Structure 1
Amino acid sequence: MQMEAGIGARLDRLPLSGFHWRLLGLIAAGMYFDSFDIYIAGTVLAAMIHSGESTLGLNATFVSVTFIGMMTGAWLSGLLGDRFGRRFCYQFNLGIYGFASIAAALAPSIYWLIFFRLVMGVGMGAEIVVGYGTLSEFIPADWRGRFGTILNLIINTSLFLSTFLGWLIVPQYGWRWMFAIAGCGALFVWFLRKSMPESPRWLASRGRNDEATAIVERIETACGGAAPRTQPSAPETSTREFYANDTGRLGDLFSRRLLTRTITAITVLVALFTVNYAFVSWIPTFLVKQGHSVSNSLGLTAVMFAGGPIGSLIAFLLAERVGRKWGIVLFSLICAAFGVAYPFAQSAVAITALGFAITSCIYVLSSFSVATYVPELFPTELRLRGSGLANTVGRAVSIGVPYAVAASFTRFGIAGVLTLIVGTLLIQALIVGVLGAETKQRSLESIAADADADTAGAQAIERGATAAVK
């Protein structure tokens, strides 16, 4: 659709301004409290065990329903966001999450808390899909990758805040205040987000051209006026998004046009969640099993996890230089190399240094994949459904990862777990390297049009082969 390509081109030509930073701040704030709530679970559950309000079995149920809720939220956000709009979806899911958090703070028993956690999980799973997808549709192509890494960095700092507040608040005032903080923060952000505009790209894809144009004009005014054209209009109108005349269907994700994109998106998120939960979540256990004291293992883990922000900063520097496709391939191979070396480390210094390096690589991959690459792969009509599907599959696989890690460690020790991690990274590098599309400094319309062109080329080859046979 020419109108949609024109809207996208106008957004991409805009200079970076306060509008883009405010948008980043509003999206990051909602996702920050989302992530904050995920990380407070450990502190809350430990406190409830200590007070006798819960048991290990009930704690396990609490964690399980969190994943179930997040899977459900990721799936629903894709359907709702593509059908009713980004603005509706990010307000709807943040409202669900905020009110459920307040209810959790008032829960009369662990059973009610588990129920409210399921509801909270729906909002938490939706936020990661809508947040990254919405951001990608506003930020100019030259900065889209870097903004994704900034958002990823901001979100990941919630681990420190949740741990610090848990240490400060829970012993003195109890676990309920942790949910109250998260819920009140989310509802405050919900109020601030009312000023966020709908995505002009989504409006144009639905044929609501007057609304899309009006929003773009307001954004141009906020950025200091419309940016001058840097290229002729012909290429702009030729890079249309496919499915422009309808709303897109879920089955289109598995059509010839988008199948490789869908496979690529699922691969990178399954790999990310597998590697993250297999290494980051299990490192303290590995260290204890290797003979370190609990205190020493926690200290070494803290140093290793300092690699997280470093990884996000590396991704920021390389997002628009190396690009997302080849960045994922490169750091998958680098991380695999560190993983191969890790079982041979003997000293605490070597173990910590390799753990730091692996953690850094994982967060580079997180910044490139879930924060930027996956939303870029799909056309506007299917962007959130594609991202939602990939996140849903990734979350589903992550449920089985702890069992795979435990079995690998029991039979083969740390080498078995690292073999699982290295194998996952190598498969990711292969699939992304062969099937992945490069998205660096390209408009979303151009990336989408490439899939259309690839399909047309494949169909032409098939017709030629059929004619030759005849």
Structure 2
Amino acid sequence: MTRPTAATHEAVTARDAIAARFERLPASRWHVTVRLVVGVVTFFEAFDQLLIAYALPELRQEWHLTDGDATSVLTVGSVGMLIGALLSGRLADRFGRVRVIAYCVAASGLAGLALVACTSLTPFLALRFVQGLAIGGEVPVAAAFISEITRSFKRGRFVLLYELVFPAGLTVGALAAAWLVPAAGWRVMFAVAAVPGLLAFLVQRTVPESPRWLADRGRTAEAEAVMDEIEAKVSAATGEPLPPVRHSPGPPAHPGSPTAKAATEAERTATGLRSLFTGRYRRRTLVVGAIWFTGYFVNYGVTSWLPTIYKDGYGLTLSDALLYSTVTSVAGLLGCLLVALTVDVLGRRKIFAIFLGGSAALLLTLAALGAHSPAQVLIWTSLSAVGFFGSNICLYLYTPELYPTRMRALGCSVGGAVNRLGVILGPILVGAVYSAGNDVATVFVMLGAVALAGAVVAGTLAEETANRPLEEISP
């Protein structure tokens, strides 16, 4: 059995001290600035991620792609994201959150710029894979970082208002693509998306490393120095002295939330992927993985194929097909905002059950009605998007809360990898069902059933974490 060492005790003490200092910080301009800088990065990663769905109809015509080629175009980036997510968690837990975020942004921008010059399928797929590595690496690490600089009180609202930049990026990307792709071609969109790679330098210059991570790695002096700097900026922003530090997390802030049990020796000493399946973390990993998979299976099963379904299945023009698809993305953004404003009141578990369950009911209703017209598909998929977009954005808040600092980025990255499995399999299975000549309604039966499964898992097995300190949830 591994016994705690003096260094381990010092790291735990430093970690608790940093956590207590974060708990006393009021929301301020400093928080908003950091959230804005990291948020702009995440915004453009999302902007880039969705472009392929809007470029696909034109790519199919320009390069004479088969249905199999089209599925590869849609999914190769997601395969890269899956691998990138798995790699980035380990790297961020070892080398730091901010460094990994910056490197991923730079790599994504360079790959996006190279895509503009592609004239055939093979190099395009290779570059989309590389870009996927970078996007998949940045997003979960950024989620872990934002959670680590936030106090427990109304953490859900603060984090999700940051996370809104991701669906906002999807929405703006959709709006821009719906206008620019028919007018100027798909290359222009990828050129625009590549420019923000320059933000990598801004991240490293303006965003401090997570003091929680520094303390957990035993770099106590650095953690305290960064925390001193943060406290000075918050005090200057508010114009008032900071309240005193409370070294005890106190009672649970959310009604009905349990006080966390003391960590077992196995939970304290497990490392790597094994740690995610040790003790209390086993159930958490399995449950949150199921929600990640089902939510994103539905999300990308719907959004990736909608432009093609509208164009080929209902005979809409490319411009109208992209416009109809954009309405669904805009509806999803409204769902994300609704979740951000209610998540601290309703709690995470109810959000998943209500929003993912509602999405399932709407998709199954569309299937029952027969999906006979593009207007019918537009209305019901847009209402459903409120649910699955809202549920999915909550995962970026919920997953970092379930793991301690030493494996928080790893937990987020595994969640991001399972997310990618859903993103990959959703479009593949939708494409298989659609290309086999089945009625479009069959597609929505499948998607509704998957959403329902996720809602049941979340509603019955998810642990509530609202308004509890991170160190209480995961000691």
TM-score of the aligned structures, taking structure 1 as reference length: 0.84
Pick one of 69, 94, 113 that aligns with 1:102.
113
The alpha-carbon deviation at position 287 of structure 1 amounts to 5.8
Whole-angstrom CA distance in 2 between matches of 1:248 and 1:282: 40
Whole-angstrom CA distance in 2 between matches of 1:54 and 1:291: 21
Pick one of 350, 367, 386 that aligns with 1:343.
367
Whole-angstrom CA distance in 2 between matches of 1:39 and 1:406: 17
The alpha-carbon deviation at position 138 of structure 1 amounts to 0.7
Pick one of 300, 303, 310 that aligns with 1:280.
303
Pick one of 107, 130, 136 that aligns with 2:147.
136
Whole-angstrom CA distance in 1 between matches of 2:155 and 2:125: 38
The alpha-carbon deviation at position 79 of structure 1 amounts to 1.0
The alpha-carbon deviation at position 77 of structure 1 amounts to 0.6
Whole-angstrom CA distance in 1 between matches of 2:112 and 2:468: 39
Deviates more, 1:435-444 or 1:352-361: 352-361
Whole-angstrom CA distance in 1 between matches of 2:418 and 2:291: 11
3-state SS in 2 of match to 1:141: coil
The alpha-carbon deviation at position 81 of structure 1 amounts to 0.7
From the superposition, tell whether residues 89 and 215 of structure 1 become closer, same or farther in structure 2 (CA, over 3 Å): same
Matches within 5 A, 1:351-370: 352-369=378-395
Name the amino acid aligned to 2:125.
I
The alpha-carbon deviation at position 209 of structure 1 amounts to 1.5
Equivalent residue number for residue 319 of structure 1? 343
Q: Deviations over 1:302-330 (max 9, x none)?
A: 44443112101211211111011221112
The alpha-carbon deviation at position 102 of structure 1 amounts to 2.7
Name the amino acid aligned to 1:379.
P
Equivalent residue number for residue 74 of structure 1? 85
CA contact (8 A) 2:178 2:323 kept: no
From the superposition, tell whether residues 254 and 321 of structure 1 become closer, same or farther in structure 2 (CA, over 3 Å): same
The alpha-carbon deviation at position 135 of structure 1 amounts to 0.8
Equivalent residue number for residue 258 of structure 1? 281
Whole-angstrom CA distance in 1 between matches of 2:281 and 2:24: 27
Equivalent residue number for residue 292 of structure 2? 269
Unaligned runs of 5+ in 2: 1-11, 252-258
Pick one of 399, 402, 406 that aligns with 2:424.
399
Pick one of 319, 334, 349 that aligns with 2:358.
334
Name the amino acid aligned to 1:326.
K
From the superposition, tell whether residues 368 and 178 of structure 1 become closer, same or farther in structure 2 (CA, over 3 Å): same
The alpha-carbon deviation at position 7 of structure 1 amounts to 0.9
Check if 1:83 corresponds to 2:71.
no
From the superposition, tell whether residues 436 and 2 of structure 1 become closer, same or farther in structure 2 (CA, over 3 Å): farther
Equivalent residue number for residue 453 of structure 2? 427
Matches within 5 A, 1:1-40: 1-40=12-51
Check if 1:41 corresponds to 2:64.
no
The alpha-carbon deviation at position 284 of structure 1 amounts to 4.9
Aligned length: 446
CA contact (8 A) 2:157 2:344 kept: yes
Q: Deviations over 1:21-59 (max 9, x none)?
A: 111111111111211222222454555555x45644655
The Cα RMSD (Å) is 3.2
The alpha-carbon deviation at position 264 of structure 1 amounts to 1.6
CA contact (8 A) 1:220 1:226 kept: no
Name the amino acid aligned to 2:90.
L
Q: What percent of counterpart residues are identical? A: 28
Equivalent residue number for residue 399 of structure 2? 374
Matches within 5 A, 1:196-345: 196-224=207-235, 227-229=242-244, 233=248, 235=250, 248-284=271-307, 293=316, 300-345=324-369
Check if 1:446 corresponds to 2:469.
no
Whole-angstrom CA distance in 2 between matches of 1:265 and 1:27: 24
Name the amino acid aligned to 1:332.
L
Whole-angstrom CA distance in 2 between matches of 1:135 and 1:105: 32
Name the amino acid aligned to 2:275.
D
Deviates more, 1:81-90 or 1:109-118: 109-118
From the superposition, tell whether residues 130 and 344 of structure 1 become closer, same or farther in structure 2 (CA, over 3 Å): same
The alpha-carbon deviation at position 444 of structure 1 amounts to 0.8
CA contact (8 A) 2:348 2:465 kept: yes
Equivalent residue number for residue 5 of structure 2? none
From the superposition, tell whether residues 406 and 191 of structure 1 become closer, same or farther in structure 2 (CA, over 3 Å): closer
Name the amino acid aligned to 1:23.
V
Whole-angstrom CA distance in 1 between matches of 2:324 and 2:392: 22
Whole-angstrom CA distance in 2 between matches of 1:11 and 1:397: 35
Equivalent residue number for residue 170 of structure 2? 159
